[in-house]
Amino acid sequence: MPELRFPQRLRGFLVDEKMRPILEQTVSKYLFVDARQRAGMSVDKLAQKVWPDQAVESSRMKIHRFMKPQVNGKPKNMYLFDFIRYCEALDVDPIRALTEILMSVEKEHE
């Protein structure tokens, strides 16, 4: 089990606006590809678990909005509430997920 720590080299670097799309793309890939596949879930099953009271088409579209850039080319903002909600649906610890995401970004930008 990896040690939970904040990647020191990213301090200050994370607040740079250029980092935002990189972090959001990494979060999206981690949740909607890697963690989802490890959980053995389809996009539809994840969407139904997160929004059980909505039509699957509508809830699936919400996930796809995070995965594809908007018209302006930027990824859709993911709020902390959304991040935690997806983590819980995937049975992933949000703190561990965020640590793994930050460590992954750190490795890519060494």
Nearest to 75 by CA among 38, 36, 37, 22: 22
71 vs 100, residue with greater confidence: 100
Q: How far is residue 89 from each of residues 43, 85, 107, measured CA to CA in Å?
A: 12, 6, 27
Residue identified by tokens 């640590």 is: 99
pLDDT of residue 26: 87
18: which 2 tokens?
A: 């250029």
Q: Determine the residue type at 47.
A: A
pLDDT digits (tens, 9 = 90+) for 55-97: 999 999 989 888 887 777 776 778 889 999 999 999 999 999 9
Taking residue 17's Cβ as centre, other Cβ atoms within 10 Å add up to 6
Does residue 54 carry a pLDDT above 80?
Answer: yes
Does residue 106 carry a pLDDT above 60?
Answer: yes
Please count the CA atoms within 13 angstroms of the CA of 33 that sit on its side-chain side. Answer: 9
pLDDT digits (tens, 9 = 90+) for 9-23: 555 555 567 777 788
Nearest to 25 by CA among 87, 85, 101: 101
Length of the chain: 110
Q: What is the DSSP letter of 8?
A: G
